Amino acid sequence: MADADAVRRLALALADVVEIDSEGFDFRVLNRGFIWSYPQREPGKPRVIRTDIAVLYVGDEAEKQALVLGEPELFFTVPAYDGLPLVMLRLPEVTGARLQELIGDAWQMRRDS
């Protein structure tokens, strides 16, 4: 089980990472976001920053679909992210080791892009 503190600890352990001031968490490498709190939006309601859900950069649509279809207990998407290489990750459902892997992969892809 992971949480926002685990995200923060793992993200800040990587080179060239900065945390952007936000209501939740928002991490960037070389000014490119790779993991941040999910800004949930529902029509007619104010935006809610969900620190129990992370938005994670995954590189491309194929990877996104593989994660969402292969591990629906961990990953999901919403129409606002259609066509974007981003998935939502349910932090309470992910292990620490898997979170470290996911954050490291996202950081690497954004650093090298």
Cα 95 to Cα 2: distance, rounded to the nearest angstrom: 6
Which residues, 6+ apart, have CB-to-CB distance to 80 below 8 Å?
41
* Per-residue confidence (pLDDT) for residue 113, from 0 to 100: 81
Kindly report, residue by residue over 37-93, the tens digit of the pLDDT: 999 998 899 999 999 999 999 999 999 999 999 999 999 999 999 999 999 999 999
Q: pTM of the entire structure?
A: 0.94
Outline where the chain has alpha helix (H): 4-12, 61-70, 96-112
What is the signed CA dihedral for 97, 13, 113, 74, rounded to 10 degrees?
Answer: 30
Rounded average pLDDT over 91-100: 97
Question: Letter for the amino acid at 92?
Answer: P
